[in-house]
């Protein structure tokens, strides 16, 4: 804080600078000091339509340099984290930078997935020059169509049919010749070859019929033996033949297969050769075409015969094709030869810049979809879908850090890709080894992408401390400022920024008064007359709303009035709670006095923040004192309604009291401090000066003017230190005074170092101008108490005693008498140490 | 002449269809064709399975052994085993018969006989108007040859015999061999009768399989030994008869002189014949030629005698 400089000086000088004694030394602020105007006439333009767009970002030299560095450096891990408050325009700026850089970089390669004929669950990734992916896909589509026709023609040709039949009949011939030979042999020997239900058997026959047992019995023993022997021999012969049949069969299958492959080879070679010639320069394609050709030849018969690879699919097709299989016109086998163009850069200019709005794990690293078929989930390489990383590969990817972190596993997925330097598509289930259903393992694609995350600083620091990988992966920190200095140069730039925003949003041009008013508002938003907010979101809101009101009023351009209207309307929309508070003061439900005097009672000021709207309101702070052991009871703290900073402020008071008034006598006082009618918590130390005034008033028994309100924190030396929300606080008290009637006495004491923050409302300024309201910049507690009581604070005399008739003198006197009383009550029992405590 | 082709004289009435079955693919085709025919003519369908007496005799032989058709292993067989196997085979064929005729809305019956196969078939066929059977029961021998049993039956068949090949079904066009003989006239009548008797709406088996043929339903192959004049006469004869019998019927004529008769089978194959109707005895087509023809064409053949 600015105040530290002053305190340091004080310490260096080793003595306290005291104001002149006697009179009221603080001079109230003049109207000019309450508001820093932007002079519309200082602008050289009439309306923003005259202004050129700003081609650079204002007020972000650090961020811009970091981005330039981040975009330029090509080393691993130099990804960008753009941090800054929400609405600072981080994404736009990063995008702008990336796009400018991307336009001069080469268009990256296309990526396609094709079937891997050796291991179909590991599709192959092909890297092709931009635009060639689609071309190759169309060529393969045509090829597949021609394949069917070519194969049909080949297999329906007379040549093929004739050769096939000849091979088949050759088998039949060999087989029947062998059996017929046995049969003939049998017949010659008077034996019949019969077919039993389970096999073949020989039986002696007579007249074409098998001999009955009686007939056999009638034969001589010799004859019977002969027959039996014949049958045995014939059986031996038959067995030999039967054993040969499987061999012949597999032989024939082999030859049929050879024939089919020979025909298929001939049919498809021409077609594929044509493509091979076309893509001769691309070895990956040629290699794939070789594999295709081999596969077509191997599966030629299936491709032709309409045999379904999968019985389920066959069933679906038979049922008239409900479901996915029915919609697909091509046979599932022909799908094998198609090309899945994952990333197509046909019409691209420069490298891609991708912003992924919904960075789920799958939207980042890509996914493998499934089709349900009769309850089973099937997939193939054609169902691989790209994620943002694939789309941005070779270029830039922009992501919202908060979204990435809130999506399950998205952060882990992103990190893994950046660490491994390749994009591997795995489902979350696979990544966690949770499911083991058959899925694909597509070949990984090498990564060449610059990632930019953007988010609030908190996210950056949390990631930095909690995730050890973060620092390795996002080495470029782009830190966005939220404010710029309010000087003439920046004011001009600001006007041009407004011009750019109005044009981008298609708003009416702002005239110079409108622009000036917006700039003033930008200062007020920060609560600092010397700085301007560059929160693009908030400014854009004001611009849009002002444009709306200009439209309502029929103004061709947006002027100061429209901007005012927009600001007022915005306040009105959100100030219901403020109105309730004001009303309860008016109806004396919340007790606030703005006239008269009271001992131990002062008007403190606090700020309430509701969403993006904040307002000030007075609170009555009271102090009571009694004989005790030197402790100040902070009632807020006792009931745990005071925050730690508030408690710290109260303890500082104690330090101040002890040092100033009880350096060498025991502080035999107890005091209690309370925010009256406060039912919620109190936090912050901005009321500590008010509490001190109430306490001094109570001890000295000197009344305080209720027409004044106080803000500012105090240190142990009695210096008043700056606080936040000074404008809102002043306006809050002003509203109450106005409601109860301005007497000309009323006003607010503010820390002197808050003067630079003043951007007060018109009505407050006007009242000050008329002398009906006063704003006093206060440096020390003594100045403040003089203003509040009208009694001099008093300087210590040569013996360190404060003179009579001053506040300090009164306080000292009261404390001394309390110490004596305390001594009287405790007799000689109490030790000094205890009293000090 | 036209009076000879009177419907009464050569009219065919099919009231009972007998199908002789074993479990071979040929005989399945026969069953389908028989069901088809029975449905067309609203006839009764009778299935027959003959337990081969020869096998039973074989089983009684002291040295009876069978060789497994695939395993090539020798096994001892006895009567009990054979009886059991034949019983099981009968049951299996009956199941097939029942299964395939269940939805045919026909009067059906199935009987199992025991004896020498061709004799039993012929004896059962004496009551039937149409006998349907497979070309051969046994696939190990040359497919180009009729089985011995079928051959024996054909040789003695008294009436209409339809011989089926494996996996073929009845189709169009009907090819009729016409040589002017009484039998060929009967064959012609049968062909017209078949065209006139379409399958009923509630089709016998899988309506989808029934091809809705267009084009000429009947092709008549004229066979004559007397040269072009004879063939011309035969043609006129048929045309006159058709003018009375079925004036709207479209037919196609193919005239074959004597020297081209040897290539009859080729012509029939080229005609993409659906069913072939042949007189069982023909002066021009001698017995061996007829058997050769049946061996060669792979379509259903209806022998008329």
Contacts of A243 in chain B (CB under 8 A): 72
Q: Is the pLDDT of residue A20 over 70?
A: no
| CB-based contact B68 A198, cutoff 8 Å | yes
pLDDT 10s digits, B216-245: 788 888 887 777 888 888 899 888 888 888
Q: Is the pLDDT of residue A740 over 80?
A: yes
A219 touches chain B (CB under 8 A): no
> Can you read off the two tokens belonging to residue A5?
């400089």
* More confident call, B35 vs A374: B35
A174 touches chain B (CB under 8 A): no
User: How sure is the predictor about A326, in pLDDT bands with cuts at 50, 70 and 90?
Assistant: very low
Q: Cα dist. A525→A31, A598, B99 in Å?
A: 20, 36, 91
Ordered strands of the A124-128 beta sheet: A124-128, A110-114, A339-343
DSSP for A774-824?
A: EEEEE-BHHHHHHHHHSS------TTSPPPTTSHHHHHHHHHHHHHHHHHH
Residues 122-161 (B) with a CB less than 8 A from some CB of A: 137-138, 140-143
Residues 245-284 (A) with a CB less than 8 A from some CB of B: 245-246
Quick one: pLDDT at residue B105? Answer: 84
For B55, name the nearest residue in chain A, comparing CA atoms only.
A196
Contacts of B62 in chain A (CB under 8 A): 213, 216, 228
Most A CBs within 10 A among B49, B57, B295, hence the mutation to make, goes to B57
> Can you read off the two tokens belonging to residue A88?
């600072």
pLDDT 10s digits, A763-806: 999 999 999 999 999 999 999 999 999 999 988 888 888 998 89
* More confident call, B138 vs A456: A456
Q: Is the pLDDT of residue B209 over 50?
A: no
Q: Is the pLDDT of residue A710 over 50?
A: yes
Quick one: pLDDT at residue B127? Answer: 86
* Nearby residues of A405 by Cβ (< 8 Å), 6 or more positions away: A411, A459
| CB-based contact A176 B140, cutoff 8 Å | yes
Most A CBs within 10 A among B52, B66, B118, hence the mutation to make, goes to B66
Most A CBs within 10 A among B21, B56, B61, hence the mutation to make, goes to B61
* More confident call, A727 vs B137: A727
Quick one: pLDDT at residue A8? Answer: 37
Q: Is the pLDDT of residue A546 over 70?
A: yes
Quick one: pLDDT at residue B295? Answer: 77
| CB-based contact B57 A211, cutoff 8 Å | yes
For strand A708-710 and strand A747-751, is the pairing parallel, antiparallel, or unpaired? parallel
Q: How many CB pairs under 8 A join A and B?
A: 98
Q: Considering chain B, what is the average pLDDT of its residues?
A: 80
CA dihedral A390, A393, A395, A398 (to 10 degrees): 40
Quick one: pLDDT at residue A778? Answer: 95
What pTM does this model have? 0.66
| CB-based contact B61 A198, cutoff 8 Å | no
Quick one: pLDDT at residue A512? Answer: 93
Instruction: Give the Cα separation of B195 and B174 in Å (integer).
Output: 8
Instruction: Give the Cα separation of B148 and A432 in Å (integer).
Output: 71
Average the pLDDT over A98-127 and give the result: 92
For strand A191-196 and strand A199-206, is the pairing parallel, antiparallel, or unpaired? antiparallel
Instruction: Give the Cα separation of A714 and A656 in Å (integer).
Output: 9
Would you call A647 helix, strand, or coil by DSSP?
helix
ipTM of the prediction: 0.77
Q: Considering chain A, what is the average pLDDT of its residues?
A: 86
A243 touches chain B (CB under 8 A): yes
Closest-CA distance of chain A to residue B143, Å: 8
Instruction: Give the Cα separation of A751 and A711 in Å (integer).
Output: 7
User: How sure is the predictor about A456, in pLDDT bands with cuts at 50, 70 and 90?
Assistant: very high
Q: Is the pLDDT of residue A223 over 70?
A: yes
pLDDT 10s digits, A144-161: 888 888 888 888 888 888
A221 touches chain B (CB under 8 A): no
B206 touches chain A (CB under 8 A): no
Q: Is the pLDDT of residue B144 over 70?
A: no
Most A CBs within 10 A among B49, B67, B71, hence the mutation to make, goes to B67
Q: Is the pLDDT of residue A9 over 60?
A: no
Ordered strands of the A613-627 beta sheet: A631-634, A669-675, A613-627, A601-610, A708-710, A747-751, A774-778
Question: A527: closest CA among A35, A6, A7?
Answer: A35
> Residues B201-219, buried b or exposed e (16+ Cβ, 10 A)?
eebbbeeeebeeeeeebbb
Q: Is the pLDDT of residue A186 over 90?
A: no
Quick one: pLDDT at residue B111? Answer: 92
Active site residue ranges of A: 686, 729
Quick one: pLDDT at residue A435? Answer: 64
A183 touches chain B (CB under 8 A): yes
Average the pLDDT over A528-551 and give the result: 92
* More confident call, B114 vs A831: B114
Instruction: Give the Cα separation of A255 and A411 in Å (integer).
Output: 58
A234 touches chain B (CB under 8 A): no
| CB-based contact A176 B142, cutoff 8 Å | yes
> Can you read off the two tokens belonging to residue B229?
């004049």
Long-range contacts of A97-102 (CB under 8 A, 24+ apart): A97/A67, A97/A68, A97/A71, A98/A71, A98/A353, A98/A395, A98/A396, A98/A398, A98/A450, A98/A452, A99/A353, A101/A71, A101/A351, A101/A396, A102/A350, A102/A351, A102/A352, A102/A353, A102/A395, A102/A396
Q: Is the pLDDT of residue A4 over 60?
A: no
Q: Is the pLDDT of residue A6 over 60?
A: no
In A527-669, alpha helices (H): 536-553, 560-574, 576-586, 635-638, 644-661
Quick one: pLDDT at residue B168? Answer: 65
| CB-based contact B55 A196, cutoff 8 Å | yes
A239 touches chain B (CB under 8 A): yes
Q: Is the pLDDT of residue A12 over 50?
A: no
B262 touches chain A (CB under 8 A): no
CB atoms within 10 A of CB B148: 17
Would you call A394 helix, strand, or coil by DSSP?
coil
Instruction: Give the Cα separation of B172 and B219 in Å (integer).
Output: 9
A588: left (phi over 0), alpha (psi -120 to 50) or beta: left
* More confident call, B202 vs A467: A467
* More confident call, A280 vs B182: A280
| CB-based contact A172 B74, cutoff 8 Å | no
Instruction: Give the Cα separation of A311 and A767 in Å (integer).
Output: 91
Contacts of B57 in chain A (CB under 8 A): 203, 209-213
Quick one: pLDDT at residue B9? Answer: 43
Closest-CA distance of chain B to residue A294, Å: 34
Lowest mean pLDDT among A196-200, A362-366, A512-516: A196-200
pLDDT 10s digits, B47-56: 999 998 888 8
pLDDT 10s digits, A636-647: 888 888 888 988
pLDDT 10s digits, A28-38: 999 999 999 99
A319 touches chain B (CB under 8 A): no
Average the pLDDT over B42-63 and give the result: 88
Instruction: Give the Cα separation of A27 and A783 in Å (integer).
Output: 10
Beta strands in chain B (DSSP E): 16-21, 44-52, 65-68, 74-76, 108-115, 130-134, 160-164, 174-178, 218-223, 251-256, 275-279, 301-304
Percent of chain A at pLDDT > 70 equals: 91
B68 touches chain A (CB under 8 A): yes
């Amino acid at each position: 804080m600015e105040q530290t400089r002053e305190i340091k000086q004080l310490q260096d000088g080793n003595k306290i600078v005291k104001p002149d004694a006697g009179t009221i030394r603080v001079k109230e602020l003049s109207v000019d000091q309450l508001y820093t105007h932007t002079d519309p006439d200082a602008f050289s333009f009439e309306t923003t339509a005259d202004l050129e767009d700003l081609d650079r970002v204002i007020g972000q030299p650090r961020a811009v340099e970091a981005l330039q560095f981040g975009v330029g450096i090509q080393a691993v891990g130099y990804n960008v984290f753009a941090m800054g408050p929400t609405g600072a325009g981080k994404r736009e700026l990063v995008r702008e930078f990336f796009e400018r850089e991307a336009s001069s970089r080469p268009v990256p390669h296309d990526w396609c997935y094709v079937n891997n004929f050796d291991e179909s669950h590991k599709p192959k990734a092909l890297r092709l020059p931009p635009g060639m992916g689609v071309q190759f896909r169309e060529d393969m589509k045509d090829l597949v169509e021609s394949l069917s026709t070519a194969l049909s023609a080949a297999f329906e040709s007379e040549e093929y049919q004739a050769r096939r039949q000849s091979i088949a009949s050759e088998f039949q011939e060999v087989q029947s010749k062998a059996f017929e030979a046995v049969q003939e042999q049998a017949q010659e020997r008077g034996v019949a070859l019969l077919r039993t239900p389970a096999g073949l058997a020989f039986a002696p026959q007579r007249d074409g019929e098998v001999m009955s047992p009686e007939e056999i019995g009638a034969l001589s023993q010799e004859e019977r033996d002969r027959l039996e022997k014949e049958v045995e021999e014939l059986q031996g012969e038959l067995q030999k033949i039967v054993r040969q049949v499987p061999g012949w069969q597999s032989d024939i299958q082999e030859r049929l297969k050879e024939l089919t492959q020979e025909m298929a080879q001939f049919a498809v070679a021409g077609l594929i050769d044509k493509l091979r010639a076309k893509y001769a320069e691309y070895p990956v394609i040629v290699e794939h075409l070789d594999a295709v050709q081999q596969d077509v030849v191997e599966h030629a018969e299936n491709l032709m015969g309409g045999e379904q690879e999968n019985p389920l699919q066959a069933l679906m097709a038979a049922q008239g094709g409900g479901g996915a299989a029915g919609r697909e016109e091509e046979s599932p086998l022909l799908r094998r030869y198609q090309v899945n163009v994952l990333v197509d850069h046909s019409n691209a200019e420069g490298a891609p810049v991708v912003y992924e709005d919904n960075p789920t794990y799958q939207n980042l690293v890509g996914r493998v979809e499934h089709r349900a078929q009769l309850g089973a989930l099937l997939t193939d390489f054609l169902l691989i879908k790209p994620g943002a990383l694939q789309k941005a590969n070779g270029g830039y990817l922009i992501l919202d850090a908060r979204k990435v972190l809130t999506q399950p596993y998205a952060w882990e997925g992103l990190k893994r890709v950046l660490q491994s330097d390749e994009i591997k598509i795995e489902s979350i289930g696979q990544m966690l080894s949770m499911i083991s259903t058959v899925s694909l393992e597509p070949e990984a694609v090498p990564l060449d992408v610059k990632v930019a995350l953007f988010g609030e600083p908190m996210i950056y620091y949390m990631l930095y401390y909690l995730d050890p990988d973060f620092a390795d992966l996002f080495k470029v920190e782009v830190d966005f400022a939220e404010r710029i200095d309010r000087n003439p140069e920046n004011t001009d730039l600001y006007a041009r920024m407004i011009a750019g925003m109005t044009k981008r949003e298609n708003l009416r041009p702002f005239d110079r008064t409108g622009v000036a008013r917006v700039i003033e508002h930008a200062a007020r938003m920060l609560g600092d007359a010397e700085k301007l907010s560059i929160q693009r979101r908030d400014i854009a809101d004001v611009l849009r709303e002002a444009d709306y009101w200009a439209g309502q009023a029929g103004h061709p351009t947006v002027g100061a009035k429209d901007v005012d209207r927009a600001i007022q309307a915005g306040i009105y929309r959100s100030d219901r709670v403020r109105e309730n508070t004001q009303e309860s003061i008016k109806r004396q439900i919340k007790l606030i006095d703005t006239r008269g005097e009271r001992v131990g009672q002062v008007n403190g000021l606090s700020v309430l923040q509701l969403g993006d709207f904040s307002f000030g309101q007075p609170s009555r702070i009271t102090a009571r004192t009694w004989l005790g052991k030197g402790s100040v009871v902070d009632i807020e703290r006792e009931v745990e309604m005071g925050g730690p900073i508030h408690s710290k402020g109260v303890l500082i008071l104690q330090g101040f009291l002890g040092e100033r008034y009880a350096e060498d006598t025991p502080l035999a006082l107890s005091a209690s401090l309370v925010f009256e009618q406060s039912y919620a918590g109190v936090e912050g130390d901005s009321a500590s000066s008010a509490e001190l005034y109430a306490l001094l008033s109570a001890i000295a028994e000197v009344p305080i003017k209720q027409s004044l309100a106080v803000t500012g924190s105090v240190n142990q030396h009695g210096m008043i230190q700056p606080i936040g929300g000074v404008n809102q606080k002043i306006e809050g008290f002003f509203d109450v005074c106005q409601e109860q009637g301005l007497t000309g006495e009323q006003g607010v004491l503010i820390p002197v170092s808050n003067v630079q923050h003043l951007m007060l409302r018109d009505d407050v300024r006007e009242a000050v101008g008329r002398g009906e309201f006063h704003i006093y910049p206060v440096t020390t507690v003594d100045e403040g108490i003089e203003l509040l009581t009208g009694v001099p604070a008093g300087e210590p005399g040569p013996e360190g005693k404060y003179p009579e008739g001053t506040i300090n003198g009164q306080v000292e006197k009261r404390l001394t008498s309390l110490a004596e009383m305390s001594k009287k009550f405790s007799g000689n029992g109490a030790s000094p140490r205890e009293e000090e405590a | 002449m036209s009076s000879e082709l009177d419907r009464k004289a050569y009219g065919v009435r099919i009231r009972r269809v007998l199908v002789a079955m074993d479990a071979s693919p040929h005989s399945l085709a026969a069953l389908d064709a028989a069901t088809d025919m029975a449905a067309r003519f609203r006839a009764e369908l009778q299935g027959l399975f003959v337990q081969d007496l020869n096998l039973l005799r074989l089983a009684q032989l002291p040295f009876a052994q069978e060789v497994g058709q695939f395993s090539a292993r020798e096994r001892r067989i006895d009567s009990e085993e054979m009886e059991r196997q034949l019983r099981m085979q009968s049951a299996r064929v009956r199941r097939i018969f029942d299964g395939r005729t269940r939805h045919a809305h026909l009067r059906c019956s199935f009987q199992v006989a025991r004896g020498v196969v061709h004799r039993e078939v012929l004896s059962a066929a004496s009551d039937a108007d149409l006998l349907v059977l497979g070309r051969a029961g046994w696939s190990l021998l040359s497919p180009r040859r009729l089985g011995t049993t079928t051959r024996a039956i054909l040789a003695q068949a008294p009436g209409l015999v339809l011989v089926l090949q494996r996996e073929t079904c009845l189709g169009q066009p009907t090819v009729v061999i016409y040589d002017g003989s009484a039998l060929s006239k009967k064959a012609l009548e049968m062909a017209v009768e078949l065209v006139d008797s379409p399958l009923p709406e509630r089709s016998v088996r899988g309506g989808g399989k029934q091809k809705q043929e267009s084009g000429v339903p009947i092709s008549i192959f004229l066979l004559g030994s007397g040269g072009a004049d004879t063939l011309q006469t035969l043609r006129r004869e048929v045309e006159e008869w058709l003018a009375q019998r079925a004036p709207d019927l479209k037919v196609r004529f193919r005239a074959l002189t004597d020297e081209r008769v040897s290539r009859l089978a080729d012509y029939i194959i080229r005609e993409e014949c659906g069913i072939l109707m042949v007189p069982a005895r023909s002066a021009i087509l001698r017995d061996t030629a007829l058997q050769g023809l049946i061996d060669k064409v792979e379509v259903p053949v209806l022998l008329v005698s």
